[in-house]
């Protein structure tokens, strides 16, 4: 097999799996901030228990997500040495900021939050969670800054065959960044809301003892998901203008695309400079799923007098719809990344010049090994989340007072 194809398959596989962890983390931490803030302000026990329950699922996903991220980072040095050598001075700057400023701080805040239960004042403990959330958003922002530069290289100059950063503010003003960041954040909130609503729906269908807790979580999750899908649609469609202006080949032909292809042919030689059909297919299916999930607004009125629980079938709909935002997320990634092919950095560095000079057998071995490792982490993550979610919110391990057995009273239903 072709080394370049194997390298691209490996990158697509590992980044897709890692991205699923990222959106769950970003979505759940936002909901956790809301739950713990409500607990600190109102003092109601149900918000503390929901914070502990969903915080436990969040921690599981975060820890295993870090492992997938570390595995994925090895690819840049192993498979894409041409990328590191040619544009590493520019592309590496936002990644370094993300690692030093965002990721390390996020991990530190999270560790203090996990072990700070019953040791810190409520306000301090809540501030730590706010710190986790803000640094998580900062991490997503800087990753998208780096990715947006690959989509539309700006603020650089090439000296001695190497790209050098000359205008840092240009990275932040990249037209492929702003709407993409809003789109990713709102997609993460959609995933978090759908996950909360679906897990709660499952407990309400089974009529578990902590009925009132999951009733509250169902409401929060469904409203969050409904609001988020509107934002997802808005930010998604808003990208067509700015992205089409700087990447005319992404959304089809046209005079601008043909002119750019002619320019590339003269500079890099003859070749196929049109993105694969997979990019358009991914975009089309993603839009279809996004429009379908707009039907979440039809379920919101059923929250009145708990008709959504009494009718029961809307709860099943939420369970069945849970995979849709995850699928749409991967399709969106395909549309964004595959749509810039055959470039690693659009119009600047072709993929065949960025791949490492290794043989196909070595690349195939790497593909199989990395895929099995990340696949195992993903399966482990979802099995652990499913098990802990099924146990309910009666007495989660996270936040349990050390050496004490908590007796939780059962709250009446529909309160």
Contacts with 238 (C-beta within 8 Å, 6 or more apart), sequence order: 179, 182
Q: What was the pLDDT predicted at 84?
A: 86
Structure tokens at 411: 């709250």
Q: What was the pLDDT predicted at 415?
A: 34
Q: What was the pLDDT predicted at 155?
A: 93
d(CA 328, CA 357): 34
> Does the model's pTM come out above 0.75?
yes
Residue numbers in the chain where pLDDT is lower than 70: 253, 403-415
The vertex-335 CA angle with 233 and 290, nearest 5°, equals: 25
- Ordered DSSP codes for 48-110: HHHHHHHHHHHHHHHHHHHHHHHHHHHHHHHT-HHHHHHHHHHHHHHHHHIIIIIIHHHHHHH
d(CA 412, CA 191): 29
Q: What was the pLDDT predicted at 103?
A: 77
Q: What was the pLDDT predicted at 403?
A: 63
Q: Give the CA radius of gyration of the chain.
A: 23
Structure tokens at 338: 């595959």
Q: What was the pLDDT predicted at 182?
A: 96
């Amino acid at each position: 097999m072709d080394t370049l194809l194997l390298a691209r398959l490996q990158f697509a596989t590992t980044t897709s799996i890692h991205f699923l962890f990222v959106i769950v983390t970003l979505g759940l931490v936002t909901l956790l901030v809301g739950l713990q803030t409500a607990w600190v302000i109102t003092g109601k026990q149900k918000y503390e228990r929901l914070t502990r329950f969903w915080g436990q699922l969040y921690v599981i996903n975060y820890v295993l997500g870090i492992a997938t991220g570390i595995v994925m980072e090895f690819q840049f040095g192993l498979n894409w040495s041409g990328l590191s050598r040619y544009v590493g001075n520019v592309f590496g700057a936002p990644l370094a900021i993300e690692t030093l400023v965002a990721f390390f701080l996020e991990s530190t805040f999270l560790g203090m939050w996990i072990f700070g239960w019953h040791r810190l004042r409520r306000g301090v403990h809540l501030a730590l969670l706010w710190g986790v959330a803000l640094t998580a958003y900062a991490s997503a922002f800087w990753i998208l800054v780096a990715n947006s530069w690959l989509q539309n290289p700006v603020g650089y100059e090439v000296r001695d065959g190497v790209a050098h950063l000359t205008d840092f503010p240009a990275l932040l003003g990249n037209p492929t960044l702003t709407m993409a960041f809003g789109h990713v954040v709102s997609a993460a909130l959609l995933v978090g809301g759908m996950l909360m609503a679906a897990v709660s729906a499952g407990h309400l269908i089974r009529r578990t003892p902590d009925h009132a807790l999951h009733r509250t979580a169902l409401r929060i999750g469904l409203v969050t998901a409904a609001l988020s899908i509107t934002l997802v649609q808005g930010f998604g469609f808003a990208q067509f203008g700015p992205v089409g202006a700087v990447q005319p080949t992404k959304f089809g032909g046209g005079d601008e695309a043909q002119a750019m292809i002619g320019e590339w042919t003269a500079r890099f030689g003859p070749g196929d400079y049109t993105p694969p059909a997979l990019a358009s297919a991914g975009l089309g299916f993603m839009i279809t799923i996004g429009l379908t999930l707009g039907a979440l607004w039809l379920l919101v009125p059923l929250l009145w007098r708990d008709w959504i629980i009494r009718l029961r079938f809307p709860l099943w709909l939420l369970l069945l719809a849970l995979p849709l935002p995850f699928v749409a997320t991967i399709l969106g990634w395909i549309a964004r990344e595959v749509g810039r092919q055959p470039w690693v950095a659009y119009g600047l560095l072709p993929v065949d010049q960025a791949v490492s000079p290794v043989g196909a057998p070595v690349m195939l071995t790497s593909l199989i090994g990395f895929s099995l490792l990340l696949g195992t982490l993903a399966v482990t993550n979802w099995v652990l989340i499913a098990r802990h979610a099924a146990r309910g919110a009666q007495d989660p391990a996270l936040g349990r007072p050390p050496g004490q057995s908590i007796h939780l009273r059962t709250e009446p239903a529909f309160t």
